[in-house]
Amino acid sequence: MDKIYVNKMSFYGYHGVFEAEAKLGQRFYVDLELSMDLSKAGASDDLNDTVNYADIFHCVQQIVEKERYNLVEALTSQIASRVLQAFPFSEVKVKVTKPNPPINGHYDSVAIEMTRRKEDLAP
């Protein structure tokens, strides 16, 4: 299966369990690995035979910046479901990175990664 990668999209959102996270917000990074047959686009060189990357970006941006979730797990799940519903991908792998969660200690970030398939979506 062919892949489209959209890497390190950066958004400012208000996700988290704690009041300060909901009030102050923080940066989130989203990486996507999207599976679909790209042979027609490879042969035609026509945007109509693939998916516009800007449309993918705006779909994810709407979820991260305009909605609010307590858990990064819920945010990641919503991105996976909505990307599969909106675009002709057979499978999506979503990784959401939260660089500054309220953890007292030294670390780079925390991240959630989920893989979902179109056939797994509820009817």
pTM of the model: 0.94
Catalytic pick among 8, 40, 95, 98: 98
Show the domain range for 34: 2-120
Structure token pair of residue 59: 């779909």
Q: CATH code at 116?
A: 3.30.1130.10
- How confident is the model over 78-119, as pLDDT tens digits? 999 999 999 999 999 999 999 988 888 888 899 999 999 998
The total number of structural domains that make up the chain:
1
**Has 98 been annotated as catalytic?**
yes
